[in-house]
Structure 1
Amino acid sequence: MSYASPYFAGRADVIAAVERDVEEHFAGVPGRNSTDPLIIAVTGGRGLGKSELALHLVQRLEHRFADGWLAKVLNGGPEPPVEAGRHPGHREQPFAPPRRRPRHPEKVLAEMLRLVDEPPQRDDLGVKALSAAWKAATRRRGLLVVLDDARDFEQIRPLLPEGPRNAVLITSSDALADAARHGARHYRHYPLGPLTPEEGAELLRRIAGERAADFAPEALREIAEQCQGHPLSISFCGTRLRDRGGWRPEQLLAELRSDRNTVLLGPAGVTAAFAEAFAECTAAERLLLSRFARVGLGSYTPWSAAALLGVGTRDARTLLDGLCDRYLLKRLNEEADGRFRYALDADVRTILQGNDARALGVPRPELLRWSARSLTRSVDRLLAGYVWLAQEAARTRAPQEWGFTEPDVPSAPPDPGLDLRVPERPDTWFESERHNLRACLTLAESRGATAAAWRLARAIAALCRAGRVYWQDWGEALDRCSAHALALGDRLAHGISLLDRAEFAGSQGRHTDAVGLARRARDEFAGGDVRWQARAARAIGVNLYRRGDRDEGESELVWAARVFGERREGRWHARTLCNLGELYRFRGDFERAQEHLVAARAEAAAHGDTDQAANAGLLLGEVLGHLGQDLRAWLILRDVLDTLEATGGADWYRARCLRTMGRLDPIRLRDQYDACDLLLDPGAEQARRAGWERYFSGSTLEKPVSERRRAELERAWSRGLHAAAERALGTENWPVYVRVVGGRPRWSAGAAARRLAADRAEWSHEAAVARVEEADDLLRRAGDAWGSHRTRLILGELLMRTDPDRGREVMEAAAEGFAALEDWWWHARALRHTAQELFNARRAAEARDKAERAKAGYERLSNLSGLLRTQVLLGKILGQAGDYRGARAELDLALERAREGHAKKIVHRALLDEVYHVRSTIIGDDPRRRLRPFGGEEA
C-alpha cells in the first residue's frame, strides 16, 4: 500500500467509531476465551477513499498493537493489457470496467508469513495448510492486519489471523454481506458514501494550500459536487488549483460541466478529472503513463521507466515524482532494497488500457511515439534490462551455477544509459521483482525472443533454488527453460535445463525422475566440458543413494568429486564431499563421513559458500552425535544456528539444526561438559582431589607405593583428565573456551564459556523433545512434508523412552508418510528404527513385524548396509523371542552377504564385525536378561 496522504479530510465519524471499537475490544481481552480477532470492514464504491482511510486509521491505531501492522492488497488488477502490435486499448465499450482478478489466498498467506519471519519453504501449498500456519504464527501476537480491496468475505476468511490481540482492517467494494454466513465474530461494518460537499471542499483547500484563501467556498463545494464526492476525483482537481498561475475554480467548473470530453465515458468524477490532468501532462509523462498501462507490470522503478521512454534514469525519476505529486501515480512503500517503486492507480490504468491515443486526446505531433513499433522498441529495452539484472542477481546469489562453459545463446545487452548496477542483495531484489520477472518472461515468449526467455527462465529458477523459495515458480521456470532450449536447438542449453530439472525433482523427493533427467543431461553433455558431466554424475549419485541405491550412487559421486578436485572447482567439490559424507553417514562409516564433512565445511567456508557450510555443519553434527561426541556436535550445531539467525537463513536449515540438537544424548552432553569442568573450573579443586584419590586407590589397590610411583600416577591422571576434556570440547574449540592461567588450563573469561555453562540447563529429555517438536512445527509451516516425517521419526524415538505407545504411533505414522511420498528407502529405514525401539522396549512380536517389513523393503533396494543392519536386528529379535533356529538362519545369511560386501569395499569393517559378534552371541538361557553363546544349551 502507498503512504497515507497529508491531504486527508472527512470521515471523522468513522474514525471515532473505529477507535472506540478498538478500545472496547482490548478492554475485554484479559480472560476472554475467544481466539477471534476484531474485524473492521470499510466498504463502498471505487474512488471513495477506502484505502486512504485505512492508512489513516493505521496511523492512529498502530500504537495499540505490540507487533505492529502489515498490509496486503487482495485485488490482482485488471485483465492483461492489449498485446503490442494491435490497435492499443480498443474496446467496444471503452470504459466498461474490465473483469478484475482477485489474488489467490495461497500467495497472500505465503507473503504474510514471510512478513512475520515464518516463511513457508514452498510456494505451492494449499490454502488450508497455509491458513493453519498463519493462525499458528499470529496466535500469540498483537498485529493490525490490513486487507485492502477484498472481493468478498470468502476471500478474506482464510487470511484472518487468530488471537484476541489482533485486529483486521478490511476495505472492499463489496458490501461483505456474506460475513455472517462465514461465522465472523467481533465484526464491525462501516459502509462509506461520498464525501459531503463541505468535506470535499476541505480536501480541495488542503491540496490547494495557500491559493485556497482566494477561492470562494461555494465554488469549492460545487467542484466537490461535480466530482460526486469521490476523493480521487477531488484530488485530481485540487492539483489543478494548487499551482501558481493554474486554474481558477470558475474555469475548472466550466470544464467539468462541459460535455466535450464525452469520449471519456465512465464514472464521471474520476474520468473527467483524469482527462484534465492527462491533458496538462507533458508529452513524456503521457507516453510514460500509457506504456506503464500497456506493458502491464505490477510496479515500476526509475530504470524501468527510463527503459520504456528511452531517457536517462535521473530524468525518469523526475517524471515519476511529478506524476505522483499529481496523483496520476502511486508511490509505493519503500522496498527492502531502499528504493521506491511506482504503480498506476487501478482506475487510471483502466482508462489508459481502454482507450487509444486519439480517444485520450493525444496531440497529433505525439502520435508517432504511440505507435506499435515504438512500443515494441521500448519493450525490447525493458526486457534487455531485466534479463541482465536477473542473470547478475542469480550469479551473485548462486555463483556455482555459472563458471563452466556456457551455451552460445546470445542476448541483447542492456542500454548503457540505464546505468544498471548488479543487485547487492539478490534475495531482496528477487523478492521485490519476482512478479515483474514472471511478466517479462511471458512478454519475451509472446514476442518470440527465445534466447532472452531461456536466460530469464534460468535466472528465475536459480534464484528460487538458491533461497529454496517459490517452488511453483521454480518448477514452472524450469519447464519453460527446457522448452526454450529445445527451440534454440542448443544441446548444452538443453542439457543444463535437464540437469536443473533433475535437481528440482530430487529436492521434491522424486528421486527416480531425477536420475532419469540427470542421465539425459549427461548424454547432452557428452564430448563437451567434463565439469558439466561431473555435475550430472553428482545429481545421479545423490538421487541414487537417496532412493536407496547407495552402492551404485557412491561410484558416481566419487568420480564427480575427483573431476571437481582436479579442475579446482571448490564450491562443487565441497558439495560433492558433503554428499559423500551423508552417504557414509547413512552407511554407518562415521569416521569416513566425519573426514569428508570436515573437509567439505572448510572448503565451502573458504569459497564464501555459507549455505553449503551450514549444510555440512548440520551433517557433521549428526555424525559426531553418532560417534558419541555430543558436546562437539552441540557446539557445531549451535554455531550453525547462530550463523543462520545472523544472516536471516531459512527456517528449513533452522529446523534441521533443532532436530539434530534434539537427538543428542542429554546424559552424554552433561557427562562430557562435567569432564571439561573438572579440569577447567578453578572452584572444582575439591572434586579434582577426590577424583585423583579414587584413581590412585584403584591403580594401587590401596597398597603403599613410592613417591616416584605416586608422581607418575598423578601425571598420568592429569594427562587423562586433560585428554578427556580436550576430546569432549574438540581441538577446534579448545582455543575459544580455554585459557592458561598460572600454567593451568581454565575456562575462558569470555562469553562463549559462560554461554556453554548456561546451556547445561537445557540438556534434558524434556528439552530435547521440545526442540524436535519445534523443528516439526517449522517444517510443517513451511510445507516440507518429507522433513516433517523425518523429524517425527526422531520424535517417536525420544517418546519411546517415556511413553512407548505414543512413540510407536508417531514412528509408524512417519513410516507411512514416507510410503505416501513413495520414498521407499526412508520407509524401510523408518520401519527398522521402529523395530529397534520396540526391541529395546522388549516388545518382540511388534518389533519382528516391523523388522520383517523393513527387510522386504531393503531387499527391493540396492542398499546392502541397510539390509544387513535389519537382518542383525531381526536376528536379535528372534533370539529374544526364543526362535534360535530362525535367528541362526537369518544371521548366517547376513554374514555371507557382509563378507561379500566387505570384499567389494561396500560394507564397512565395523558392520562386518557387528554381524560376526551378533552371530556368535545369541540370546542366552534367560532371554530377558543376557546373551548366550550361539548353539549353546539353555540353562
Structure 2
Amino acid sequence: TSPHRIPDNVPRDIPWVGRHDELRRLTAALCEGNGTSAAVVTVEAIDGMGGVGKTAMAVHLAHRLRDRFPDGRLFLHLGGHASDRDPLPATRALAELLRLLGLPPKELPQDLDELVSLWRTTVRDRRMMVILDDAADTGQVRPLLPGDSPTAVVVTSRRRLPGLPGVRPVSLDVLPRDDAVLLFERRVDGRCVTRRAEVEEIILRCGHLPLAIEIAASRLLSRPSWSTSDLLDQLTAGSAHLPELRDGERTLRHVFDLSCRALTPPQRLVFRRMGLHFGVEFGPHAVAALAGLPVEETDRILEELLSQHLISEPSPHRFSMHDLLREYARSLYDDDALEPEGEVRKAVRQLMDHYVQVADRADRMAYPFRSRIPLDAEGTPAATGRRTGPEITDAHAAERWLMTEGANLLDTLDWIRQNGPESQLAQAVHVLAGFLDMEGHLVAAEPLLRRAVAHWRSVGDGAARARALLDLSAVHTHSGAYEEGIAAAREAQDIARTLQDGELESEAIHQLSIPLWQTGRYALVRSLQQHSLSYLVQTEKTLQTARVRNLLGIAHLHLGEKVEAVECFVAALAGFTAEGDDRGRYRTLNNMAELFRKNGDPEAAEKSYREAIELSAGMGSRGDHATLQINLANVLTTLGRPDEALALFGRALPVLRAVGDRQGEGIALNGIGRAHRIAGRGEQALPQHVAALAVLRDIHAEGEVVDVLYDLARVELDTGRMAQAVAHMEQSLSISRRIGARVEEERASRGLEAVAAARLSGTPNWH
C-alpha cells in the first residue's frame, strides 16, 4: 500500500451524544504511550444488550482521534450476534482487513497462522485505529490483534471478552436521562413540536436505548403534522416486543412496529425481504431480486427507507441493516398470513439465482479461457429471458464486481451447499471456480469441486464432469499439489477424447501442461501443446491460440530449441495484441526476456522485463508483478548490479510468500544467493541457496531445482567446499538429462569441467 494512501472506511453518519466519562477513559487508554505500542480497548454492553451505542462510541472515537492515528482507520463488522448467520471466521476477517489495506484477496495465504503473520507484519509500523465491531468471543478477536505495533484496536461486543492481552474494558448501559433527551432533540433538530415532559416519557418508552430513540425520532420526522404527543400515543398503543431488549415492561419492538406500520406496502415488502439477505452489505440489484421488483423502483424505495433510518448506506449504492432491525424484519415472517412460506422460499431462490447469474456473466469476461458448463436452471433470469444485475461491459468491471460481492458470493455458495440440491451446488461452484481460484479461496473450493465431480459422475454427464475436473486441477496446481492437478486434468482429457470434443480436449491439454511444466516435463508439454495447436489453428479462437503458442514457446525454450521458441513468442504476442489482452502480452514479454537471457543478451532481457512490468502495473496481479520483479533482479545480477537486484528481491519475496507462491519464493531465495555471490559474499549466499533448494524440492519443481543445484555448486566451489560442489553439480546434470533441459545440461557439463580445472589450478574458471 502506498504510504500516501490513508485507508479509512469508518462510517460517517452515526450520531453521538454524551457519555463523557466513558469517552475520556477510552481516549486515555488508546493514547497511552503516544502511539508507540499497541492499545486494545473493548466497548461492552451491560447484560448483553444491543443498541446501547457501542458502535457509535467507537466510530466517534475514530473520527475524534484521527490526528493521533494518521495511517488510517479501519472498520470491520464481525457479525458476532447476528441471528441469521455465523460470526465472521478469523481467516475471512483477516483477509478483509488486509484487503482494506490494499492487498488483493486472491493473493492472500489460506492458512490462519500465515494470515496472522502477514497482518502483523503489514501493520508493524502503522499508527492506525482498527474497529472490530460486534465481536462474538475472545477466540474470534485474538488473531486480529496487531501484536507489536502502534496500531490501536477498539472491540465492541455484547459480552465480556476475557483473555485478550492488555485489554481495557469499558461497559455501556443505556443512556442517562439527560443524554437520552439530548439525543432525541438533536435528531429532530427543532423541526417538530416537542415538550420536555413528553420527550422524557418517549425515551422512557424506548428504554433509554439509543437505537430505539433514533428510530422514534425518525418516526416523528416522517410525520410533519405530528407532535411529540402524537408519537407518545402511538408508542403506548402496541404490545409486541423483542424479548432480548426488554427494559422492565418497555420494549424496542414497540418502536419497530410503529416505524413499520408507517411504511407503504412496497416499502414494507422491501424492508421484509432485506431481512432475508444473508450478507452484511449488498447492492440494489440484490434487493430487487429478493423483492421481485424492477431495480429502478427498488432504488427509490431504498432511498425512502434510508430517510427513515431503517437501513444505512456505508458506501455509495451499498446497503446494510442493523442486526436488530434485520432480526425484526425476519420475525415478521412468523405471521403466515403476511407472506406464504412458498413466497419466502421463492424470494431466497431469486437471490441465489441473481448472484449465480451475474457471477456467470462476470466470470466469462474476467476469465475468458475457462471451458463452461451451460447454466440452465429453470426459473432463473437466464431461463425466463429477464436479466438482473448491473451491466458488466469489460474484464475490469467484471473483476471489480467479483471483488465487491466476494463475501456474498461465498455466502451464496455456502447457502446452496446447506440448502440446495447437488445439481445446483455443482453448477454454482463451477460458475465461481475462477473467482475461488484467483481470489485465493482454495481451501473452500477444493472439497466443493470434488462434490461437483462426484455429482456429474452420478448423473452420467461426462462433459460437465470433465469441466469440473479442469476446475479441480487448476485449484490443485495453484496450491502446489502438482500430481493431483495432473491426475485431474488427465481424467478430463480422457473424457474429452471419448466424447470426441476437440475444444474440450484442447482445454484439458492446456490445463494438464501447466503442472507438467512446473515439474520439468518439458518434452511432454511440447508434444501436448503441438497437438492442441493443430486443432486450434483450424478455428478462429485467437486468444486460445495465442495462449497455446506462449506455453509451447516456454517448452521449446527449456528444451534449448531457441528458434522455435522465438517463433512461438512472436506469434503469441501478435495474437494477444490483436485481441487487446494486456495480461497475455506481459506474460509473453516475460518469456521473451527469459529467451534473451539464455541467449546471452541480458540488456535485451532487461528491456523486455521492464516493458512487461510497466504493462502489469495497471492490471496484473500482485503476484505476477512480484514474479516479474525477481526475473528482472536475476538479469540485473548477471549485468553486475547485485545491490540493485537485492533491493528488488527484498520487495518481491514478502509478496510471493504472502500469496503462497512457493515456486516464486524458491526462485527469489536462489536469486538472492546469486546476488550475494556476485558481490563477493559467498558465506551469505550459501544459506539462501540451501533454503531455496528445500522449498523447490518440497513442491517437486524439478526445472528450478536444476538451477539451484548449479548455483549452489558454484558458491560451494568459491568457498572451498569441493566435495559438495562436485555432488551438487552432478545432481544438476543428472536431473537436466532426465527432464530434457538441454541448455541446463550443457551448463552443468561445463560446470563439472570448471570443478575439474579448479582441482588442478586451485581457481574456478566459470564460463
Superposition TM-score, scaled by structure 2 size: 0.88
Cα 1:78–1:17 shift into 2, 3 Å: closer
Match of 1:719 in 2: none
- Spell out, residue by residue over 1:611-661, the C-alpha distance to the aligned partner (whole angstroms, 9 max, x if none): 2222222222222223232222222222222222233x3210111121011
Match of 2:716 in 1: 838
Match of 1:676 in 2: none
**Matching of residue 640 in structure 1 with residue 644 in structure 2:** no
**Matching of residue 815 in structure 1 with residue 706 in structure 2:** no
The equivalent position to 1:157 in structure 2, one of 139, 142, 147, is 142
**Matching of residue 148 in structure 1 with residue 133 in structure 2:** yes
Match of 2:3 in 1: none
Task: Give the Å deviation of 1:521.
Answer: 0.9
**Matching of residue 372 in structure 1 with residue 341 in structure 2:** yes
Match of 1:798 in 2: 675
- Spell out, residue by residue over 1:458-510, the C-alpha distance to the aligned partner (whole angstroms, 9 max, x if none): 22112344x45333344355335434433553221111111222232222232
Contact 1:389 1:422 survives alignment (8 Å): no
Match of 1:789 in 2: 666
Cα 1:306–1:867 shift into 2, 3 Å: closer
Contact 1:796 1:807 survives alignment (8 Å): yes
For 1:466-865, list aligned pairs within 5 A.
467-476=438-447, 478-526=449-497, 527-647=499-619, 649-665=620-636, 668=639, 764-801=641-678, 802-839=680-717, 841=719, 843-854=721-732, 861-863=738-740, 865=742
Match of 1:401 in 2: 370
Cα 1:857–1:432 shift into 2, 3 Å: same
Aligned equivalents of 1:62, 1:813: Cα separation in 2: 43
For 1:70-469, list aligned pairs within 5 A.
70-75=74-79, 78=82, 80=84, 101-119=86-104, 121-123=106-108, 125-161=110-146, 165-179=150-164, 182=165, 184=166, 188-212=168-192, 214-244=193-223, 248-250=227-229, 252-253=231-232, 256=235, 260-261=239-240, 266-268=245-247, 269-334=251-316, 340-354=317-331, 356-358=333-335, 367=338, 370-401=339-370, 407=374, 409=376, 412-414=380-382, 420-424=389-393, 425-444=397-416, 448=420, 452-465=424-437, 467-469=438-440
Task: Give the Å deviation of 1:454.
Answer: 3.9
Task: Give the Å deviation of 1:267.
Answer: 3.1
Aligned equivalents of 1:244, 1:829: Cα separation in 2: 77
- Spell out, residue by residue over 1:528-561, the C-alpha distance to the aligned partner (whole angstroms, 9 max, x if none): 3312212222223333232232222221111112
Counterpart amino acid of 2:208? G
Aligned equivalents of 1:628, 1:869: Cα separation in 2: 14
Aligned equivalents of 1:275, 1:437: Cα separation in 2: 32
Aligned equivalents of 1:264, 1:804: Cα separation in 2: 72
Aligned equivalents of 1:584, 1:128: Cα separation in 2: 40
Cα 1:638–1:215 shift into 2, 3 Å: same
Aligned equivalents of 1:457, 1:576: Cα separation in 2: 26
Of 632-641 and 850-859, the range deviating more from structure 2: 850-859
The equivalent position to 1:3 in structure 2, one of 3, 11, 17, is 11
User: Which SS does the other structure have where 2:170 is aligned?
Assistant: strand
User: Which SS does the other structure have where 1:846 is aligned?
Assistant: helix
Cα 1:215–1:271 shift into 2, 3 Å: same
Task: Give the Å deviation of 1:245.
Answer: 5.2
Cα 1:379–1:192 shift into 2, 3 Å: closer
Aligned equivalents of 2:433, 2:684: Cα separation in 1: 42
Task: Give the Å deviation of 1:825.
Answer: 4.8
Cα 1:574–1:76 shift into 2, 3 Å: farther
Contact 2:44 2:172 survives alignment (8 Å): yes
Counterpart amino acid of 1:536? A
The equivalent position to 1:69 in structure 2, one of 63, 73, 93, is 73
Counterpart amino acid of 2:287? A
Contact 1:793 1:810 survives alignment (8 Å): yes
Aligned equivalents of 1:847, 1:605: Cα separation in 2: 45
Aligned equivalents of 2:457, 2:546: Cα separation in 1: 32
Superposition TM-score, scaled by structure 1 size: 0.73
Task: Give the Å deviation of 1:394.
Answer: 0.9
Counterpart amino acid of 1:809? P
Aligned equivalents of 2:200, 2:241: Cα separation in 1: 23
Aligned equivalents of 1:556, 1:355: Cα separation in 2: 60
Aligned equivalents of 1:265, 1:18: Cα separation in 2: 27
User: Which SS does the other structure have where 1:43 is aligned?
Assistant: strand
Contact 1:3 1:331 survives alignment (8 Å): no
Task: Give the Å deviation of 1:280.
Answer: 2.9
CA RMSD of aligned residues (A): 3.2
Cα 1:177–1:452 shift into 2, 3 Å: closer
Aligned equivalents of 1:530, 1:408: Cα separation in 2: 21
Contact 1:851 1:873 survives alignment (8 Å): no
For 1:35-50, list aligned pairs within 5 A.
36-44=37-45, 45-50=49-54
User: Which SS does the other structure have where 1:274 is aligned?
Assistant: helix
Task: Give the Å deviation of 1:795.
Answer: 1.3
- Spell out, residue by residue over 1:755-791, the C-alpha distance to the aligned partner (whole angstroms, 9 max, x if none): xxxxxxxx73212112112211111122323321221
Cα 1:660–1:128 shift into 2, 3 Å: same
User: Which SS does the other structure have where 2:252 is aligned?
Assistant: helix
Contact 1:142 1:166 survives alignment (8 Å): yes
User: Which SS does the other structure have where 2:381 is aligned?
Assistant: coil
Aligned equivalents of 2:608, 2:747: Cα separation in 1: 31
Moved over 6 A (4+): 415-418
Aligned equivalents of 1:426, 1:458: Cα separation in 2: 17
Contact 1:303 1:418 survives alignment (8 Å): no
Aligned equivalents of 2:375, 2:268: Cα separation in 1: 40
Match of 1:935 in 2: none
Cα 1:468–1:230 shift into 2, 3 Å: closer
Aligned equivalents of 1:73, 1:779: Cα separation in 2: 29
Aligned equivalents of 2:21, 2:747: Cα separation in 1: 74
Aligned residues: 745
Counterpart amino acid of 1:69? R
Aligned equivalents of 1:354, 1:601: Cα separation in 2: 59
Counterpart amino acid of 2:662? A
Structure 1 unmatched ranges of 5 or more? 81-99, 335-339, 669-762, 883-924, 932-939
- Spell out, residue by residue over 1:230-258, the C-alpha distance to the aligned partner (whole angstroms, 9 max, x if none): 11111121122223356544454455556
